[in-house]
Amino acid sequence: MATIDEELSQLEKDIRQLKIEYDQFFGGGRKRPPTDVEWRIDTLIKRYSERSGQLKFGQSFRFNNLAQTYAKYKEIFRKRLQQKEEGKVERHYGAAAKAIEAERAQRRAAEAAARPAEPGAAFRITCSAPDREAEKVEQLYQAFIRAKEKAGEPTEKFTRANFREFVRKKTSELQKQKGVQEVEYVVEVVDDQVKLKALTKS
């Protein structure tokens, strides 16, 4: 029986394969959409959505990123299918796909920072302009909330809006005080409590 990490790796491969086969379908190289691969991905995502409590912090972070990437791809594919049926052409599909690939590259780096999912393991990310780095701030927010959930701490008061505002203000404050461009945010567990630290390098 495959381990959770092996199945998450297979999920990542299937998502890549799905994109390749949809590209072939939209390009005329396939007669039908890759519904078999899509069904396999849907099955795995449903399974791990239902058993998210069994995943370690790093596994949860990885799964959520894969699920979000898949959801974005599905939306692109849905629109492309609709346009294909209506006889329209979406000229910006390639650019959208490249943007998602760039996001996935950032997320893979973030996932690496989130491993190993052992007590005391930290998630790190660097910000210099939070208003223009929404993806980074979202990664930090997810890592923070997941860590709190794993630690059994309440998360209700930490909304995306107030978290983004905190990061924006803290980054600006430290840039002015310390005369630095980048601020490193660290999510870690210290004495069974989740801490969010903002660090600068001289």
| Residue 42 belongs to domain spanning | 4-108
Q: Is residue 115 part of a domain?
A: no
- 86 and 156 belong to one structural domain: no
Interval 20-36 mean pLDDT: 87
- 137 and 170 belong to one structural domain: yes
Q: What is the pLDDT of residues 123-179, one digit of tens each?
A: 889 999 988 888 889 999 999 998 888 888 888 888 888 999 999 999 999 989 888
Q: Is residue 36 part of a domain?
A: yes
Cβ 55 vs Cβ 48: under 8 Å: yes
Residue with tokens 């790093």: 58
Cβ 199 vs Cβ 184: under 8 Å: yes
- 27 and 87 belong to one structural domain: yes
pTM of the full predicted structure?
A: 0.45
- Taking the CB of residue 33, how many other CB atoms lie within 10 A of it? 18
Whole-angstrom Cα distance, residue 130 to residue 172? 9
Q: Is residue 150 part of a domain?
A: yes
Q: Is pLDDT at 121 greater than 70 in this prediction? A: no
Q: What are the backbone angles phi and psi of residue 130, rounded to the nearest 5°?
A: -55, -35
Q: What is the pLDDT of residues 44-86, one digit of tens each?
A: 999 888 887 888 888 888 888 899 999 998 899 888 888 877 7
- 93 and 17 belong to one structural domain: yes
Query: Letter for the amino acid at 8?
Result: L
Whole-angstrom Cα distance, residue 22 to residue 80? 10
